[in-house]
Chains A and B, each alone.
Chain A
């Protein structure tokens, strides 16, 4: 009875008067369309910050003509915690757990990006065994992230069942994380220079077992949705974005690939141990919500493929490189980015030679991708806004940092 419990989370934002809303949206210029005498007034709707479909505390101000969206404005920052400011007051290794709290759905990826960036700054390399473990955990995390996305996206479009299926299967990933490092969500799995924990007894066997378990499950999701008429109608042609627009707006990740750009940082600028594995970059053609869905489903299969290859040949050896206890990178700056489940996740770190970073800038994929929302939903219907927010796969923790 999920929809009944949601009722308590009523939307109306009582602190904002209509007047203030009109002021905020005054810049949303109206498209001139042929007016007839039946045209009604524009309606300004405040979607969020507490709304079941905005995935957290995103607030979207919609300017509507009936059900048609004339313009949107995102109001973000409700979850702003000043991660970048915190970084300047922590040592390099103390800041490591904080990055998990940005994209809390894909915490392992965040940690990987940060650790690799600092490693680059320190000019050390993680040992091969650590890199393999990193790849396995990161890909498992990508699976978990995509599963969560699929469940919530389907829920937004009205299919309530996939959510429970994906959560059931995501649970298995989280169990592996828990066994590996004791945490399920904000894992802090990696350390600068490698990994802190050796794989637990039977890690490889369990991961293999998970692979066997999850492959039919992904088929199951696809059975539920891929050819479902309503699903196809709701997603095909919705929120179209072309490759050119994607590039111009800096949109990355599955959204970019669904528009037909075969670009994945794991291939383009391989990091960790990705150069060793054989996998494909799934792409779409139309850049609509359906293609993004297909691309992510394919990506899940590719992740399985990578894990399958990695788990079979984890090299022996140390799991952490020799890094000083007190890290003092030389004065300089570095930008390192990885392919997070949502897109390009970059860290720009400036060192002043002390134990604390002088400046850490996170390039959040969700933040940049969310920018495309306005372009994607103009002229669409309210229901499409929900579908597009879902398909952008934003995590507000990362948007607001």
Chain B
């Protein structure tokens, strides 16, 4: 499968395996197209999860991860791509509706914009919150003090 995809997309794809789990590191430009192909032709019809990992030291700070599963093959695959802070990723809601809330959560937690998402707004945190808590530079007890004071009427949420 990977060779087939490689033949089609060239060097943008790097397939790998760790502890028996397959993953592909993919160039960000290939993303919506490749995922579409994975769903339509390779039967990865179930989007398990969309998430991200923050590496502040890197130039392209975020790893964006799609975890896919195929009922047909009983097989999982992870698709990873790197994107820079402030850059936006293509949304896969059109391919898997399941991505809707998952992408909203990634946006909420990391501040990654998704192009083409129907309703990209915060999901777990309140709408007016400042900051994206799962970034490495966001402290564990850090809070949006202003929001807490205005909306909860208390000095601090701690």
A contact residues vs B (CB 8 Å cutoff): 27, 76-77, 80, 82, 84-86, 88-89, 120-121, 123, 247-251, 261, 263, 268-269, 332-335, 337, 344, 346, 348, 350, 358-359, 361, 363, 367-368, 370-371, 400-401
The reply to whether the CB of B76 lies closer than 8 angstroms to some CB of chain A is: yes
Question: Which chain A positions have C-beta within 8 A of B19?
Answer: 120-121, 123, 332, 334
Which of B21, B78, B98, B122 makes the CB contact (< 8 A) with A248?
Answer: B98
When distances are taken between beta carbons in the complex, the residues of chain A under 8 Å from B82 are none
Report the minimum CB–CB distance from A344 to chain B (whole Å).
7
Give residues 37-96 of B contacting A (CB, 8 Å). Answer: 45-49, 51, 53-54, 65, 67, 71, 74, 76, 78, 96
- Nearest opposing residue in chain B for A348, CB measure: B51
Known: A76-B123, A333-B18, A361-B51. A269 touches B74 (CB 8 A): yes
Q: How far is the CA of A263 from the CA of B70 in the complex (A)?
A: 11
CB distance from A378 to the nearest CB of B (A): 14
- Contact count band on B: 35 or more
Decide yes or no whether B140 CB sits under 8 A from chain A: yes
Interface residues of B in 1-38 (CB under 8 A from A): 18-19, 21, 23
Complex Cα–Cα for A161 and B140 (A): 44
Among residues 95 to 111 in chain B, which have CB atoms less than 8 Å away from a CB atom of chain A?
96-98, 100-102, 105, 109
Q: In the complex, which residues of chain A have a beta carbon less than 8 angstroms from the beta carbon of B48?
A: 250, 335, 337, 344, 346, 363
Q: Are A248 and B140 in contact (CB under 8 A)?
A: no
8 Å CB interface, B115-158 against A: 119, 122-126, 133-134, 136, 138, 140
19 intermolecular pairs with C-beta atoms under 8 Å apart: A80-B125, A82-B140, A88-B136, A247-B45, A247-B46, A247-B71, A248-B96, A248-B97, A332-B18, A333-B23, A335-B49, A335-B76, A344-B48, A348-B49, A358-B53, A359-B53, A359-B54, A367-B101, A371-B100
A247-B45, A269-B74, A334-B21 known; A85 vs B134 contact (CB < 8 Å): yes
Pair A250/B96 contact, Cβ less than 8 Å: yes
Which B positions have Cβ atoms within 8 angstroms of A? 18-19, 21, 23, 45-49, 51, 53-54, 65, 67, 71, 74, 76, 78, 96-98, 100-102, 105, 109, 119, 122-126, 133-134, 136, 138, 140
Q: Which 9 A-B pairs have the closest CB atoms?
A: A250-B98, A77-B124, A361-B51, A363-B49, A80-B124, A359-B53, A332-B18, A371-B101, A249-B98
